[in-house]
């Protein structure tokens, strides 16, 4: 976890990202391997086997430690790698914002995929990521990036209010109501058999 | 001016931008020609002559009418075209945020240039734009994009708090304390002879 400050930013900060990889050398990324995704994929046997065989990096992203103030803007890149666990595409854990009403904007820089969104009341929305496509995630919606490409990383740039915070626990406990699987080579949205009400 | 709502966004919004041009067909851009830049360039005679000769488009950007709430995120692209008025590079008008403390993040998608920033107390900061480089503009700083390339548009993606608002009037009246001119083929920061204290 980054240490969050309540002192406003007073100096401009420039960060060089590589647009081809989404990565920056400005600071270490936060990395999530298959072994960090326990309970997240529907096919638990396939996950266990994949962790044992080769515990690959599934996604990484950055936290620049922007002050936790509503007047600041947290930002960074997120890179979700191609792959599947069983029929389920590699994806981020997904989260609600602690300040639930906080929205977020994503801009897809390369790759293809989906943004899966779900409100506490169970409304589900899905939008496509393609290069140059922005997706505005409304406040109150948990959000998860899913890479549906067979071979390309899904690279996005994101920005959200500095005081939004992250609630990962709700999704870790309950899951999303819907998951995205590959069927006949294409993504389909289906009920999550492991969803906890 | 867009009509701003105080009702939170409840539906995801996807927008396709062309990463090569920065443009989208989702809505009309806001466009600023040389004739919209009266009083902004140091060489007023050169500006008059340029307006009379060919009142070119100098920059354009988007306003998606995001609700004016601190939990929302205003966003869009900004495209500043290459060119000069006398020795001064094409640039945006620049503005403070009405809620002065509001920060903003820019990601340069292509081109090259500078972000010129200035606080009400007169502190001046400058950062370079290059493809993949993000620039975080601290709260309280007016900000102006400047295209220093001889031939390429400067294309950025920006995001700021939904309730930040725009104060263009202060810069229109006083100007920035510093301006950027081309000297021997390179940009230099110099005092603005027309700055009004
Ligand atoms: Mn988020
Ligand atoms: Mn601004």
A15 lies in some domain: no
B116 neighbors B85 (Cβ within 8 angstroms) = no
Distance separating alpha carbons of residues A28 and A44, to the nearest angstrom? 30
Residues A159-173, mean pLDDT to the nearest whole number: 97
Residue among A14, A17, A157 whose CB faces B127 most closely: A14
Please provide the size of chain B in residues.
197
Asked, for residue A149, whether it belongs to a domain, the answer is yes
A26 touching chain B per CB within 8 A: no
Q: In this predicted model, what pLDDT tens digit does every residue of B75-124 receive, in sequence order?
A: 999 999 999 999 999 999 999 999 999 999 999 999 999 999 999 999 99
B113: domain CATH number? Answer: 2.60.120.10
Containing structural domain, residue A158: 30-191
Taking a contact as any Cβ pair under 8 Å apart, which residues of chain B between 116 and 135 contact chain A? 117, 125, 127-128, 130-135
Residue A127: its pLDDT value, please? Answer: 98
Mean pLDDT (whole number) for B47-57: 97
Q: What is the largest CA-CA distance in chain A?
A: 52
Q: What was the pLDDT predicted at A3? A: 59
Query: Which of B64, B134, B161 is facing A15, going by the closest CB pair?
Result: B134
Q: Assess if residue A13 is contained within a domain.
A: no
Q: How far is CA A64 from CA A102, A156, B75, B187, in A?
A: 18, 15, 19, 30
- pLDDT greater than 60 at residue B171: yes
Q: Is residue B58 part of a domain?
A: yes
CB contact under 8 A, B115 and A12: yes
CB distance A161–B132 less than 8 Å? no
Asked if this assembly's ipTM is beyond 0.90, the reply is yes
Domain count for chain B = 1
User: pLDDT at position B4, please?
Assistant: 74
For residue A9, being part of any structural domain is answered with no
pLDDT greater than 50 at residue A1: no
Residue B15 inside a domain? The answer is: no
A186 CB burial (10 A radius; 0-12, 13-18, 19+): exposed
Using only C-alpha atoms, chain B has a radius of gyration, in whole angstroms, of: 16
Q: State which H helix or E strand residue A13 sits in.
A: strand A13-16
Mean pLDDT of A100-128: 98
For residue B144, is it within any domain? Answer: yes
- Between the CA of A45 and the centroid of ligand 1 the distance, in Å, is 29
Q: Which of B18, B75, B162 sits opposite A132 (nearest CB)?
A: B18
Please compute the mean of the pLDDT values over residues A102-122 and round it to a whole number: 98
Is A5 inside a domain boundary? no
Residues of A in contact with B9 (CB under 8 A): 103, 136, 138-139
Flag if B16 and A125 touch (Cβ within 8 Å).
no
Per DSSP, the three-state class of B145 is: strand
Q: Do A14 and B128 touch (CB under 8 A)?
A: yes
């Amino acid at each position: 976890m980054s240490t969050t400050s309540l002192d406003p930013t007073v100096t401009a900060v420039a960060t060089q990202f590589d647009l081809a990889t989404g990565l920056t050398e400005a600071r270490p990324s936060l990395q999530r391997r298959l072994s960090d995704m326990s309970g997240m994929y529907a096919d638990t046997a396939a996950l266990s086997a994949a962790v044992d065989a080769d515990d690959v990096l599934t996604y990484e992203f950055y936290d620049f430690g922007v002050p936790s103030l509503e007047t600041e803007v947290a930002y960074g890149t997120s890179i979700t790698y191609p792959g599947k666990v069983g029929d389920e595409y590699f994806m981020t854990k997904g989260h609600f914002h602690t300040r639930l009403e906080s929205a977020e904007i994503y801009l897809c820089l390369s790759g293809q995929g989906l943004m899966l969104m779900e409100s506490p009341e169970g409304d589900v929305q899905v939008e496509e990521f393609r290069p140059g496509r922005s997706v505005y995630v409304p406040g109150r919606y948990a959000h998860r990036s899913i890479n549906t490409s067979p071979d390309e990383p899904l690279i996005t740039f994101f920005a959200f209010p500095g005081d939004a915070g992250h609630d990962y626990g709700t999704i870790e406990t309950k899951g999303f109501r819907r998951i995205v699987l590959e069927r006949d080579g294409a993504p389909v949205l289906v009920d999550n058999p492991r969803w906890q009400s």
